Amino acid sequence: MSSAIETQTLRKTTLNALHRRLGAKMVDFGGWDMPVEYPTSGGLMKEHLAVRTGVGMFDVSHMGDILIRGPEALAATQWVSMNDASKLQENQAHYSALLYPEGTFVDDVIVHKLGQNDYLLVINAGTREKDYGWVKKNVSRFHCHATDVGDYYTQIAIQGPKAEVTLQKLTNVDLSQIKNYWFRHGTVCGLPNTMIARTGYTAEDGFEIYVPSDVATSERVWSDVTETGKEFGIVPCGLGARNTLRLEGRMALYGHEISDSINVWEAGLDRFCKIDKGDFIGRAALERAKAEGLKRTLVGLEAVERGIPRDGYKVLDSSGNEIGYVSSGSYAPFLKKNIALAYVPPSHAAIGHEVLVEIRGQNVKCEVVPTPFYKRTRKA
Amino acid sequence: MAYPKDYKYTKEHEWIQVSGKTALVGITDHAQQSLGDIVFVELPKMGTELVAGKSFGTVESVKAVSELYAPASGNVTAINQSLSAAPEQINQDANKAWMVKIELSNPDQLKGLLSADDYEKYVAEEN
């Protein structure tokens, strides 16, 4: 009975009814009622492979969006995020993060430069309120305004090597001219001024489109993409495939690889943290942490014995002493291996180093391997 | 079709097909559907004594781990080795993809299990 009450309080995207009509298996993800997989169109494994070899589409409207707008929007964005937003050109985006003064994560974000005084931060679903509160508070000393625009958009991700050819049939924008992590505005499915970003969370080529969040429009766009992608084998994809795809690509997930108790250096996100760009929240602590040296670091593991290392499992050294934990682990549907990301001391982080993962009382041998586990081959 | 009439079922979603003193054990079609794509099965060694109601192994899909519970007590006399290399057989036909064969040590335990009709009702109520 309690579950019925909980269901009522879960938040829904405008495509919720459509997912249910498609027979999706739904789960509570960070307070959102979201599809985890669509068994009727083949399920998680098929969804994952469709994105690697063809095209898949995801409802990612649960993601949040914060607009920072005003004469000091750049200074404010610089202060609350770790990457160097001054390097962004109009219509360009980059991966970044909001940090606590301790150098740990409020959340990871994609910062889009919409215009001279106009930055859009795309944030995680489970941290929307926290992020918005954090940004609003910390940009208040700048001449700008932070607005939560998360509910304005239905965000659909179209991902895979056939994403471009699919979406191209629905827009007047020349997609071949949009580079990775750039975006444009144009007509999509007859909707003018729609944002099309060459971004994603699958380690594959693809786009994310931002359409008005009314049910009729959202469902129409979804079905237009579905129809158009048919010839390329498009399937709707849920959070299950989203997770295994991002894991193969070693992309961080909040609450797993990054959190309020993990710092930037530990997470290995150094190249997105521009410590010399000027002051920003978390910088001083990160400088201290760098001087002190790493206590743990994120590594890729591959099971060499039978067993799937999963989130939260203990990592042991070869003598059986606990040295760390798995932050994310799964069977990898494309690589057909059992892989994990894990936090271990730097002394155990060398490629080829052998560790054990305790899987329900059994110690399973795993090897430290290079990451990302999967890297797409880019067009020349 | 989903639940053969000559099998017995547990509330933990295993089936048991008895012939004389031996029996095959697997998981139900409902179980494989809830799990999704099965990628890993861990089964006991030959000669292991299964105890009714106790875990004897695990089955894992991409996103979940599920324990296997013995429908009845007995000694493991055969293991379906082919599941190790091709666990997707369970998704394809859960009723045929037996996991272990056991020599029943207490056939009376079978009386406590569900019939196909009762199991089907149980699953419907559970949803």
Rounded to two decimals, the ipTM of the complex is: 0.89
Q: Which of B37, B42, B58 is closest, CB to CB, to A45?
A: B37
**Is the pLDDT reported for residue A378 higher than 80?**
no
Are A263 and A289 a contacting pair, CB within 8 Å?
yes
Tokens of residue A1, six digits = 């009975």
**Is the pLDDT reported for residue A90 higher than 60?**
yes
**A73-80 vs A128-138: helix crossing angle, rounded to 10:** 120
Region A296-302 average pLDDT? 98
Cis bond leading into A333, ω under 30°?
no
Task: Determine the pLDDT at residue B2.
Answer: 85
User: At A152, is the secondary structure helix, strand, or coil?
Assistant: helix
| Interface membership of A326 toward B (CB under 8 Å) | no
Question: For A211-247, how does the pLDDT look when each residue is reduced to its tens digit (9 = 90+)?
Answer: 999 999 999 999 999 999 999 999 999 999 999 999 9
Residue contact A308–B63, C-beta within 8 A: no
What is the set of domains in chain A, with CATH numbers? Answer: 2-61+152-248 (3.30.1360.120), 64-141 (3.30.70.1400), 294-369 (2.40.30.110)
Residue contact A306–B42, C-beta within 8 A: yes
Q: Chain B contacts of A243, Cβ < 8 Å?
A: 63
Region B13-29 average pLDDT? 97
Question: For B101-124, how does the pLDDT look when each residue is reduced to its tens digit (9 = 90+)?
Answer: 999 999 999 999 999 999 999 999
Tokens of residue B50, six digits = 């299964």
Question: For A38-53, how does the pLDDT look when each residue is reduced to its tens digit (9 = 90+)?
Answer: 999 899 999 999 999 9
| Interface membership of A256 toward B (CB under 8 Å) | no
Q: What Rg, from alpha-carbon coordinates, does chain A have?
A: 21
E strand or H helix at A322: strand A322-332
Q: What Rg, from alpha-carbon coordinates, does chain B have?
A: 13
Task: Determine the pLDDT at residue B1.
Answer: 52
Are A88 and A74 a contacting pair, CB within 8 Å?
no
| Interface membership of B65 toward A (CB under 8 Å) | yes
Interface-testing mutation among B30, B32, B33, B37, with chain A (most A C-beta atoms within 10 A) = B37
Q: Per-residue b/e over A1-15, b at no fewer than 16 CB within 10 Å?
A: eeeeeeeeebbbbbb
> How far are the Cα atoms of A61, A79, A181, A201 from residue A194, in angstroms, in the given order?
15, 29, 16, 20
Task: Determine the pLDDT at residue A8.
Answer: 58
Going by DSSP bridges, is the β-strand pair A56-59/A235-237 parallel, antiparallel, or unpaired? parallel
Question: For B34-69, how does the pLDDT look when each residue is reduced to its tens digit (9 = 90+)?
Answer: 999 999 999 999 999 999 999 999 999 998 999 999
Share of chain A above pLDDT 90, in %: 96
Residue contact A240–B40, C-beta within 8 A: no
Chain A: nearest CA to B49, how far in angstroms?
19
Given pLDDT bands bounded at 50, 70 and 90, which one contains residue A338?
very high
The conformation of residue B37, written as its DSSP 8-state character, comes to S
Given pLDDT bands bounded at 50, 70 and 90, which one contains residue A9?
confident
> How far are the Cα atoms of A255, A375, A380 from residue A326, in angstroms, in the given order?
12, 21, 36
Residue contact B37–A39, C-beta within 8 A: no
E strand or H helix at A220: helix A215-229
Task: Determine the pLDDT at residue A2.
Answer: 40
**Is the pLDDT reported for residue A109 higher than 60?**
yes
| Interface membership of A337 toward B (CB under 8 Å) | no
Q: What is the mean pLDDT of chain A?
A: 96
Given pLDDT bands bounded at 50, 70 and 90, which one contains residue A103?
very high
Residue A56 identity (one-letter amino acid): G
Region A318-344 average pLDDT? 97
Cα A86 from chain centroid? 23
Region A346-366 average pLDDT? 97
Region A60-75 average pLDDT? 98
Q: Which of A44, A308, A310 is closest, CB to CB, to B37?
A: A44
Task: Determine the pLDDT at residue A210.
Answer: 98
Task: Determine the pLDDT at residue A289.
Answer: 97
What is the set of domains in chain B, with CATH numbers? Answer: 14-106 (2.40.50.100)
Higher confidence at residue A40 or residue B16? B16
User: At A142, is the secondary structure helix, strand, or coil?
Assistant: coil
Task: Determine the pLDDT at residue A380.
Answer: 46
Are A276 and A87 a contacting pair, CB within 8 Å?
no
Residues in Cβ contact with A294 at an 8 Å cutoff, skipping those fewer than 6 apart: A265, A266, A346
> How far are the Cα atoms of A59, A161, A195 from residue A155, in angstroms, in the given order?
6, 19, 10
- Nearest 5 degrees, angle CA A169-CA A158-CA A206? 95
Are A226 and A236 a contacting pair, CB within 8 Å?
yes
Task: Determine the pLDDT at residue A377.
Answer: 84
